[in-house]
């Protein structure tokens, strides 16, 4: 900041999809300014310790020349790279790039409860939960924990059953026993990750193992880890990372949480000239101002807000209403493949809506 007396300093965070593995992205941070810039001959050395771009300036005499060196060391320690583009008199852009960052299905905010005795699964929005365990006693135990809650549970006895049920029932979260006949939890997880739309589905490992090495493997492989025997508190502490709380700003409002179809809307009268003009104007505004950011980022919060805005302006157009509902559902269930495909359809949908109302 101290080197930019006038103008701006901007910070941006973006990512690029890894087309070979959609569970990972290339993460990019940029810091740009409209300051004095850095001469070309100094750009290759400013990341070295105690080196400054122009030590003759008062602002730089106040520093040690260690800031960029520390940035470089921290970035490289995390497997990333840092570089700079600069023009003297116009400003500089520093760019930090982290390749192949794994996408997490965890929610950005976790307001964990401290009191064990007040665990209430209805703190979360209703969800579809798949429980996979070959032991009937364990399945009954979890069923009892959720018996009076608003959540819908499905049960499978082995990994093969779990994969089939997952495709059919589309749960929001899976509790998976590790040791099972036919197909164990690890094998089931590999197959789940290969299914389109389930690349980042939260799968929590359930195991009786107390070996530290095995626990470390479980934590690296699965979304979460619970050691048997467990109680309501352990289940709650995993759910809090993945299920929205009641009243959450990212909670879906237009689609039922249990995945059932919305009831058919009553017939809507055709739009009049004024309403059609308003719809065209709003759709073009979304296409120009909002859609490019959603397409490029696929950020869950921004996509959810975009989907709700489409739904809000789409009264009287079933295709637009269905599009908004589907887009929000894909965002809320982290179905990244379907989400990207649905976002890409928006320009054609706008064109079709405009032609049909002309």
- pLDDT value at residue 94: 94
CA neighbor of 51 nearest in space, from 68, 26, 75, 31: 68
The per-type count for the chain, helices as H runs and strands as E runs, is: 14, 9
- pLDDT value at residue 58: 54
User: According to DSSP H, which parts of the chain are helical?
Assistant: 40-43, 58-61, 67-77, 136-145, 159-169, 185-194, 212-221, 232-239, 273-285, 291-297, 300-313, 318-332, 336-344, 346-357
Task: Give per-residue pLDDT as tens, 170-226.
Answer: 899 999 998 888 888 889 999 888 888 788 889 999 987 666 666 677 777 888 888
What stretches in the chain show pLDDT beneath 50? Answer: 59, 61, 109-116, 249-269
- pLDDT value at residue 227: 86
- pLDDT value at residue 280: 82
- pLDDT value at residue 173: 93
CA neighbor of 193 nearest in space, from 214, 169, 220, 221: 221
Helix axis angle, 300-313 relative to 273-285, nearest 10°? 170
CA neighbor of 201 nearest in space, from 173, 220, 226: 173
- pLDDT value at residue 157: 92
- pLDDT value at residue 57: 54
Domains and CATH numbers, the chain: 9-102 (3.30.565.10), 116-239 (3.40.50.2300), 273-357 (no CATH)
- pLDDT value at residue 50: 65
- pLDDT value at residue 259: 40
Task: Give per-residue pLDDT as tens, 123-134.
Answer: 988 899 999 999
pTM of the prediction? Answer: 0.47
């Amino acid at each position: 900041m101290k080197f930019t007396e006038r103008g701006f300093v901007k910070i941006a965070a973006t990512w690029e999809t890894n087309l070979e593995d959609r569970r990972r992205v290339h993460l990019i941070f940029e810091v740009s300014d409209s300051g004095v810039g850095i001469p070309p001959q100094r750009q290759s050395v400013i990341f070295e310790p105690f080196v400054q771009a122009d030590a003759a300036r008062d602002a730089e005499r106040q520093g040690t020349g260690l800031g960029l060196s520390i940035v470089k060391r921290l970035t490289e320690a995390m497997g990333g790279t840092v570089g700079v583009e600069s023009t003297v008199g116009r400003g500089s852009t520093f760019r930090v790039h982290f390749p192949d960052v794994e996408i997490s299905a965890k929610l950005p905010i976790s307001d964990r409860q401290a009191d064990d005795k007040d665990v209430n699964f209805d703190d979360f929005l209703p969800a579809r939960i798949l429980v996979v365990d070959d032991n009937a006693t364990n399945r009954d135990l979890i069923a009892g924990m959720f018996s009076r809650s608003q959540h819908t549970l499905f049960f499978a006895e082995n990994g093969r059953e779990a994969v089939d049920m997952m495709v059919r029932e589309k749960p929001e979260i899976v509790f998976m026993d590790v040791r099972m006949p036919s197909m164990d939890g690890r094998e089931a997880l590999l197959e789940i990750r290969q299914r389109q739309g389930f690349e980042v589905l939260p799968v929590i490992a359930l195991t009786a193992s107390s070996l530290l090495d095995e626990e470390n493997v479980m934590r690296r492989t699965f979304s979460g880890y619970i050691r048997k025997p467990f109680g309501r508190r352990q289940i709650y502490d995993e759910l809090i990372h993945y299920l929205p709380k009641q009243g959450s700003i990212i909670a879906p409002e237009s689609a039922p949480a249990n995945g059932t179809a919305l009831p058919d809307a009553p017939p809507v009268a055709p739009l009049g000239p004024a309403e059609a003009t308003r719809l065209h104007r709003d759709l073009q505004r979304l296409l120009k101002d909002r859609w490019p950011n959603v397409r490029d980022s696929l950020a869950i919060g921004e996509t959810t807000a975009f989907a709700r805005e489409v739904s809000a302006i789409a009264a009287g157009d079933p295709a637009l209403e269905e599009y908004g509902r589907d887009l929000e559902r894909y965002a809320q269930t982290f179905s990244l493949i379907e989400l990207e495909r649905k976002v890409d359809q928006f320009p054609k949908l706008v064109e079709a809506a405009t032609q049909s109302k002309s």
